[in-house]
Copies of this chain bind each other. A is one copy, B any other.
Protein backbone atom coordinates (compact mmCIF):
# COMPACT_ATOMS: atom_id res chain seq x y z
CA UNK A 1 0.00 0.00 0.00
CA UNK A 2 1.18 3.41 -0.89
CA UNK A 3 1.56 6.38 1.47
CA UNK A 4 -0.69 8.94 -0.19
CA UNK A 5 0.04 12.56 -0.86
CA UNK A 6 3.86 12.40 -0.77
CA UNK A 7 6.43 12.67 -3.51
CA UNK A 8 10.11 11.83 -3.31
CA UNK A 9 13.28 12.69 -5.18
CA UNK A 10 16.98 11.92 -4.95
CA UNK A 11 19.79 13.24 -7.12
CA UNK A 12 23.56 13.39 -7.34
CA UNK A 13 24.81 16.85 -6.42
CA UNK A 14 28.49 15.78 -6.15
CA UNK A 15 28.65 16.61 -2.43
CA UNK A 16 29.92 13.06 -1.89
CA UNK A 17 32.33 11.25 -4.16
CA UNK A 18 30.99 11.00 -7.72
CA UNK A 19 28.53 8.28 -8.65
CA UNK A 20 26.41 8.38 -5.50
CA UNK A 21 23.05 10.01 -4.73
CA UNK A 22 23.56 12.67 -2.06
CA UNK A 23 20.64 15.10 -2.13
CA UNK A 24 17.08 14.03 -1.35
CA UNK A 25 13.66 15.61 -1.04
CA UNK A 26 10.49 14.50 0.69
CA UNK A 27 7.43 16.55 -0.27
CA UNK A 28 3.92 16.42 1.07
CA UNK A 29 1.39 17.77 -1.42
CA UNK A 30 -0.50 19.38 1.45
CA UNK A 31 0.90 20.87 4.67
CA UNK A 32 1.46 18.04 7.13
CA UNK A 33 1.51 17.94 10.90
CA UNK A 34 5.11 17.38 11.89
CA UNK A 35 6.96 16.06 14.94
CA UNK A 36 10.72 15.77 15.38
CA UNK A 37 13.42 14.67 17.79
CA UNK A 38 16.88 16.23 17.59
CA UNK A 39 20.34 15.66 19.04
CA UNK A 40 20.95 16.92 22.59
CA UNK A 41 24.62 17.59 21.81
CA UNK A 42 25.47 21.19 22.79
CA UNK A 43 27.22 21.54 19.45
CA UNK A 44 24.34 21.40 16.98
CA UNK A 45 24.72 21.57 13.24
CA UNK A 46 23.19 24.49 11.36
CA UNK A 47 20.38 22.43 9.77
CA UNK A 48 19.43 21.12 13.22
CA UNK A 49 19.22 24.65 14.63
CA UNK A 50 17.09 25.78 11.69
CA UNK A 51 14.78 22.75 11.66
CA UNK A 52 14.31 22.92 15.45
CA UNK A 53 12.97 26.44 14.98
CA UNK A 54 10.70 25.48 12.11
CA UNK A 55 9.03 22.42 13.63
CA UNK A 56 7.81 24.60 16.48
CA UNK A 57 4.77 25.67 14.50
CA UNK A 58 3.80 22.03 14.05
CA UNK A 59 3.48 22.10 10.26
CA UNK A 60 5.85 21.25 7.45
CA UNK A 61 5.58 20.38 3.81
CA UNK A 62 9.06 19.23 2.80
CA UNK A 63 12.38 17.95 4.08
CA UNK A 64 15.58 18.41 2.06
CA UNK A 65 18.48 16.19 3.12
CA UNK A 66 22.06 15.91 1.98
CA UNK A 67 24.81 13.47 2.82
CA UNK A 68 28.55 14.09 2.47
CA UNK A 69 28.70 17.27 4.51
CA UNK A 70 27.21 17.74 8.00
CA UNK A 71 27.14 21.55 7.80
CA UNK A 72 28.23 21.46 11.46
CA UNK A 73 30.72 23.86 13.07
CA UNK A 74 30.28 26.13 10.10
CA UNK A 75 29.17 29.24 12.02
CA UNK A 76 26.97 31.94 10.52
CA UNK A 77 27.81 30.84 7.01
CA UNK A 78 26.45 27.39 7.84
CA UNK A 79 23.14 28.85 8.95
CA UNK A 80 22.98 31.02 5.84
CA UNK A 81 23.67 27.95 3.71
CA UNK A 82 20.97 25.93 5.44
CA UNK A 83 18.49 28.76 4.97
CA UNK A 84 19.44 29.24 1.34
CA UNK A 85 18.98 25.53 0.69
CA UNK A 86 15.47 25.58 2.10
CA UNK A 87 14.65 28.81 0.23
CA UNK A 88 15.73 27.35 -3.11
CA UNK A 89 13.69 24.21 -2.47
CA UNK A 90 10.68 26.26 -1.29
CA UNK A 91 10.84 28.34 -4.47
CA UNK A 92 10.99 25.24 -6.61
CA UNK A 93 8.03 23.72 -4.79
CA UNK A 94 6.03 26.93 -4.52
CA UNK A 95 5.64 26.68 -0.74
CA UNK A 96 6.68 29.01 2.09
CA UNK A 97 10.36 28.85 3.16
CA UNK A 98 9.47 27.96 6.70
CA UNK A 99 7.54 24.88 5.65
CA UNK A 100 10.79 23.27 4.47
CA UNK A 101 13.00 21.42 6.96
CA UNK A 102 16.64 20.64 6.26
CA UNK A 103 18.97 17.91 7.45
CA UNK A 104 22.61 17.08 6.74
CA UNK A 105 25.09 14.32 7.51
CA UNK A 106 28.74 13.87 6.72
CA UNK A 107 32.00 15.55 7.58
CA UNK A 108 31.98 18.17 10.32
CA UNK A 109 33.61 21.57 9.99
CA UNK A 110 33.73 22.06 6.25
CA UNK A 111 31.54 24.62 4.53
CA UNK A 112 28.69 23.29 2.38
CA UNK A 113 29.61 23.29 -1.32
CA UNK A 114 26.63 25.54 -2.05
CA UNK A 115 27.34 25.96 -5.74
CA UNK A 116 26.70 22.23 -6.12
CA UNK A 117 23.51 22.41 -4.06
CA UNK A 118 22.30 25.39 -6.12
CA UNK A 119 23.04 23.56 -9.33
CA UNK A 120 21.08 20.49 -8.24
CA UNK A 121 17.86 21.94 -6.80
CA UNK A 122 16.00 22.20 -10.11
CA UNK A 123 16.77 18.61 -10.95
CA UNK A 124 15.80 17.63 -7.40
CA UNK A 125 12.36 19.24 -7.67
CA UNK A 126 11.81 17.84 -11.15
CA UNK A 127 12.70 14.41 -9.83
CA UNK A 128 9.58 14.41 -7.67
CA UNK A 129 7.66 13.33 -10.76
CA UNK A 130 9.26 9.91 -10.75
CA UNK A 131 11.27 9.57 -7.52
CA UNK A 132 10.84 6.94 -4.83
CA UNK A 133 11.37 6.72 -1.08
CA UNK A 134 13.99 4.08 -1.80
CA UNK A 135 15.97 6.74 -3.65
CA UNK A 136 15.81 8.91 -0.55
CA UNK A 137 17.04 5.98 1.57
CA UNK A 138 20.00 5.66 -0.77
CA UNK A 139 20.82 9.36 -0.90
CA UNK A 140 21.12 9.72 2.90
CA UNK A 141 23.67 6.91 3.26
CA UNK A 142 27.22 7.69 4.38
CA UNK A 143 29.13 4.62 5.57
CA UNK A 144 25.92 2.55 5.38
CA UNK A 145 26.24 -0.47 3.12
CA UNK A 146 22.51 -0.83 2.33
CA UNK A 147 19.51 1.54 2.26
CA UNK A 148 17.08 1.24 5.21
CA UNK A 149 13.39 1.48 4.40
CA UNK A 150 10.35 0.11 6.20
CA UNK A 151 6.61 0.30 5.44
CA UNK A 152 3.68 -0.59 7.72
CA UNK A 153 0.06 -0.71 6.60
CA UNK A 154 -2.73 0.36 8.92
CA UNK A 155 -6.49 0.37 8.61
CA UNK A 156 -6.90 2.73 5.66
CA UNK A 157 -3.49 4.39 5.98
CA UNK A 158 0.22 3.58 5.69
CA UNK A 159 3.45 4.59 7.40
CA UNK A 160 6.80 4.54 5.60
CA UNK A 161 10.23 5.45 6.93
CA UNK A 162 13.87 5.58 5.97
CA UNK A 163 16.97 5.81 8.13
CA UNK A 164 20.70 6.09 7.90
CA UNK A 165 23.02 4.50 10.40
CA UNK A 166 26.31 5.06 11.95
CA UNK A 167 29.30 3.71 13.82
CA UNK A 168 28.35 1.16 16.40
CA UNK A 169 30.98 1.59 18.98
CA UNK A 170 29.54 4.09 21.42
CA UNK A 171 26.68 6.52 21.64
CA UNK A 172 29.12 8.89 20.04
CA UNK A 173 28.47 11.46 17.38
CA UNK A 174 27.69 8.86 14.78
CA UNK A 175 24.90 10.61 12.96
CA UNK A 176 21.52 8.92 12.85
CA UNK A 177 18.85 10.31 10.55
CA UNK A 178 15.34 9.02 10.03
CA UNK A 179 12.39 10.41 8.10
CA UNK A 180 8.94 8.90 8.48
CA UNK A 181 5.78 9.81 6.58
CA UNK A 182 2.18 8.76 7.05
CA UNK A 183 -1.03 9.65 5.27
CA UNK A 184 -3.00 9.16 8.48
CA UNK A 185 -4.35 12.27 10.19
CA UNK A 186 -2.79 12.74 13.61
CA UNK A 187 -3.02 15.80 15.83
CA UNK A 188 0.32 17.61 16.14
CA UNK A 189 0.73 17.43 19.93
CA UNK A 190 -0.21 13.78 19.90
CA UNK A 191 2.21 13.18 17.01
CA UNK A 192 5.15 14.56 19.01
CA UNK A 193 4.29 12.36 21.99
CA UNK A 194 3.96 9.27 19.78
CA UNK A 195 7.28 9.97 18.10
CA UNK A 196 9.08 10.48 21.40
CA UNK A 197 7.77 7.20 22.77
CA UNK A 198 8.58 5.33 19.59
CA UNK A 199 12.14 6.73 19.50
CA UNK A 200 12.65 5.73 23.14
CA UNK A 201 11.83 2.13 22.29
CA UNK A 202 13.81 1.99 19.04
CA UNK A 203 16.67 4.36 18.22
CA UNK A 204 17.34 4.92 21.91
CA UNK A 205 17.89 1.24 22.69
CA UNK A 206 20.67 0.65 20.19
CA UNK A 207 24.22 1.36 21.08
CA UNK A 208 24.25 4.34 18.78
CA UNK A 209 21.69 6.16 20.86
CA UNK A 210 21.40 9.06 18.54
CA UNK A 211 21.46 11.82 21.13
CA UNK A 212 25.16 12.48 20.80
CA UNK A 213 25.91 13.55 17.25
CA UNK A 214 25.81 17.17 16.13
CA UNK A 215 23.22 16.23 13.49
CA UNK A 216 20.90 13.46 14.74
CA UNK A 217 17.37 14.05 13.56
CA UNK A 218 14.14 12.05 13.39
CA UNK A 219 11.22 13.69 11.55
CA UNK A 220 7.66 12.34 11.36
CA UNK A 221 5.09 13.91 9.00
CA UNK A 222 1.38 13.13 8.99
CA UNK A 223 -0.55 14.70 6.13
CA UNK A 224 -4.02 13.13 6.54
CA UNK A 225 -4.39 12.48 2.80
CA UNK A 226 -5.60 8.93 3.45
CA UNK A 227 -8.90 10.51 4.43
CA UNK A 228 -9.49 8.43 7.56
CA UNK A 229 -10.74 10.09 10.75
CA UNK A 230 -8.24 11.85 13.02
CA UNK A 231 -6.38 9.28 15.13
CA UNK A 232 -6.67 9.94 18.86
CA UNK A 233 -4.63 8.57 21.76
CA UNK A 234 -6.47 6.12 23.98
CA UNK A 235 -8.67 4.83 21.15
CA UNK A 236 -8.03 1.39 19.60
CA UNK A 237 -7.18 3.09 16.29
CA UNK A 238 -4.75 5.46 17.99
CA UNK A 239 -3.05 2.64 19.91
CA UNK A 240 -2.80 0.66 16.72
CA UNK A 241 -1.05 3.54 14.98
CA UNK A 242 1.32 3.94 17.92
CA UNK A 243 2.19 0.24 17.82
CA UNK A 244 2.81 0.31 14.07
CA UNK A 245 5.01 3.38 14.39
CA UNK A 246 7.07 1.76 17.16
CA UNK A 247 7.38 -1.42 15.15
CA UNK A 248 8.55 0.48 12.09
CA UNK A 249 11.14 2.52 14.00
CA UNK A 250 12.41 -0.58 15.80
CA UNK A 251 12.84 -2.33 12.44
CA UNK A 252 14.85 0.65 11.18
CA UNK A 253 16.89 0.69 14.40
CA UNK A 254 17.67 -3.01 13.99
CA UNK A 255 18.76 -2.38 10.41
CA UNK A 256 21.10 0.34 11.66
CA UNK A 257 22.75 -2.09 14.08
CA UNK A 258 22.96 -4.82 11.44
CA UNK A 259 24.73 -2.32 9.21
CA UNK A 260 26.99 -0.99 11.95
CA UNK A 261 30.40 0.07 10.70
CA UNK A 262 32.39 -3.11 10.24
CA UNK A 263 29.75 -5.14 12.11
CA UNK A 264 29.84 -8.92 11.79
CA UNK A 265 27.44 -9.68 14.68
CA UNK A 266 23.97 -8.53 15.75
CA UNK A 267 23.49 -8.97 19.47
CA UNK A 268 20.44 -8.38 21.67
CA UNK A 269 21.47 -7.61 25.26
CA UNK A 270 18.71 -8.20 27.82
CA UNK A 271 19.08 -7.35 31.48
CA UNK A 272 16.33 -8.65 33.73
CA UNK A 273 15.86 -8.86 37.48
CA UNK A 274 17.11 -5.27 37.89
CA UNK A 275 15.65 -3.06 40.60
CA UNK A 276 14.03 -0.88 37.91
CA UNK A 277 13.54 -0.63 34.17
CA UNK A 278 15.90 2.34 34.13
CA UNK A 279 18.68 0.41 35.82
CA UNK A 280 18.10 -2.56 33.53
CA UNK A 281 18.62 -0.30 30.51
CA UNK A 282 21.64 1.36 32.15
CA UNK A 283 23.31 -2.03 32.72
CA UNK A 284 22.40 -3.32 29.25
CA UNK A 285 23.81 -0.16 27.64
CA UNK A 286 27.08 -0.47 29.59
CA UNK A 287 27.48 -3.98 28.19
CA UNK A 288 26.43 -2.91 24.69
CA UNK A 289 28.93 -0.03 24.69
CA UNK A 290 31.90 -1.87 26.16
CA UNK A 291 34.70 -2.08 23.62
CA UNK A 292 36.11 -5.10 25.39
CA UNK A 293 32.78 -6.93 25.19
CA UNK A 294 32.38 -5.93 21.53
CA UNK A 295 35.86 -7.07 20.54
CA UNK A 296 35.18 -10.39 22.31
CA UNK A 297 32.01 -10.79 20.20
CA UNK A 298 34.10 -10.13 17.10
CA UNK A 299 36.62 -12.75 18.27
CA UNK A 300 33.78 -15.20 19.04
CA UNK A 301 35.24 -15.46 22.53
CA UNK A 302 32.73 -16.55 25.20
CA UNK A 303 34.27 -14.06 27.64
CA UNK A 304 31.34 -13.56 30.05
CA UNK A 305 33.78 -12.03 32.57
CA UNK A 306 33.91 -8.83 30.53
CA UNK A 307 30.11 -8.74 30.56
CA UNK A 308 29.77 -9.02 34.33
CA UNK A 309 32.52 -6.44 34.77
CA UNK A 310 30.61 -4.00 32.54
CA UNK A 311 27.47 -4.60 34.58
CA UNK A 312 29.57 -3.92 37.68
CA UNK A 313 30.62 -0.45 36.56
CA UNK A 314 27.31 0.48 34.93
CA UNK A 315 26.04 2.15 38.08
CA UNK A 316 23.08 -0.23 38.33
CA UNK A 317 22.57 -2.03 41.62
CA UNK A 318 24.26 -5.43 41.41
CA UNK A 319 24.93 -8.27 43.81
CA UNK A 320 27.91 -9.97 42.13
CA UNK A 321 27.04 -13.26 43.82
CA UNK A 322 23.62 -13.49 42.18
CA UNK A 323 24.29 -12.67 38.55
CA UNK A 324 23.37 -15.28 35.91
CA UNK A 325 24.54 -14.83 32.30
CA UNK A 326 23.28 -16.66 29.21
CA UNK A 327 24.39 -16.71 25.56
CA UNK A 328 21.11 -17.63 23.84
CA UNK A 329 19.96 -20.47 26.12
CA UNK A 330 23.44 -21.51 27.25
CA UNK A 331 24.06 -20.59 30.87
CA UNK A 332 27.59 -19.20 31.15
CA UNK A 333 27.51 -17.97 34.76
CA UNK A 334 25.37 -18.90 37.75
CA UNK A 335 25.41 -16.74 40.88
CA UNK A 336 28.36 -14.74 39.58
CA UNK A 337 30.68 -17.63 38.84
CA UNK A 338 31.32 -19.86 35.82
CA UNK A 339 28.46 -22.28 35.25
CA UNK A 340 30.85 -25.14 34.59
CA UNK A 341 30.34 -28.24 32.49
CA UNK A 342 30.53 -27.71 28.76
CA UNK A 343 29.28 -24.10 28.95
CA UNK A 344 32.48 -22.73 27.42
CA UNK A 345 32.20 -24.98 24.35
CA UNK A 346 28.45 -24.45 23.93
CA UNK A 347 28.74 -20.69 24.48
CA UNK A 348 31.45 -20.48 21.85
CA UNK A 349 29.15 -22.23 19.37
CA UNK A 350 26.45 -19.61 20.04
CA UNK A 351 28.93 -16.81 19.36
CA UNK A 352 29.73 -18.25 15.95
CA UNK A 353 26.22 -17.25 14.83
CA UNK A 354 25.69 -13.92 13.13
CA UNK A 355 22.84 -13.12 15.51
CA UNK A 356 22.55 -14.14 19.14
CA UNK A 357 21.30 -12.85 22.47
CA UNK A 358 22.97 -12.19 25.80
CA UNK A 359 20.74 -12.33 28.88
CA UNK A 360 21.91 -11.08 32.25
CA UNK A 361 19.67 -11.88 35.21
CA UNK A 362 20.52 -9.73 38.23
CA UNK A 363 17.89 -11.51 40.40
CA UNK A 364 17.20 -8.38 42.46
CA UNK A 365 13.84 -7.11 41.15
CA UNK A 366 11.55 -7.04 38.17
CA UNK A 367 13.20 -4.38 35.97
CA UNK A 368 13.96 -5.55 32.47
CA UNK A 369 15.26 -4.01 29.23
CA UNK A 370 16.69 -5.09 25.90
CA UNK A 371 19.14 -3.15 23.76
CA UNK A 372 20.84 -4.03 20.48
CA UNK A 373 24.49 -3.77 19.58
CA UNK A 374 27.08 -5.01 17.13
CA UNK A 375 30.66 -6.15 17.50
CA UNK A 376 33.84 -4.09 17.17
CA UNK A 377 35.94 -5.27 14.24
CA UNK A 378 39.07 -4.36 12.32
CA UNK A 379 36.81 -2.78 9.76
CA UNK A 380 35.35 -0.36 12.29
CA UNK A 381 38.83 1.02 12.84
CA UNK A 382 39.57 1.04 9.13
CA UNK A 383 36.35 2.86 8.22
CA UNK A 384 36.84 5.52 10.88
CA UNK A 385 40.57 6.01 10.49
CA UNK A 386 40.15 6.67 6.80
CA UNK A 387 36.76 8.36 6.86
CA UNK A 388 37.69 11.66 5.31
CA UNK A 389 40.30 10.35 2.89
Contact = CB atoms under 8 A, between A and B. Distances in A.
Given A290-B170, A306-B108, A318 B73 contact: no
Given A172-B310, A291-B167, A378-B378, A305 B384 contact: no
B292 A174 contact: yes
This protein's copies in its complex: 2
Contacts of A43: 308-309, 311-313, 318, 320, 323, 336
A381 B111 CA distance: 34
Contacts of A298: 381, 385
A104 to B, nearest CB: 13
Contacts of A296: 384-385, 387
Nearest to A304: B109
Interface of A: 40-44, 70, 72-75, 77-78, 107-111, 167, 169-170, 172-174, 211-214, 290-292, 295-296, 298-299, 301, 303-306, 308-313, 317-318, 320-321, 323, 333, 335-338, 376-378, 380-382, 384-389
23 contacts: A40-B313, A41-B313, A42-B313, A42-B317, A42-B318, A43-B311, A43-B312, A73-B308, A73-B320, A74-B337, A78-B337, A167-B291, A169-B292, A172-B313, A173-B313, A174-B292, A211-B313, A212-B309, A214-B309, A214-B312, A291-B291, A378-B382, A381-B381
The 10 closest A-B pairs by CB, nearest first: A108-B305, A299-B385, A43-B312, A295-B384, A109-B305, A75-B337, A41-B312, A169-B291, A173-B309, A43-B320
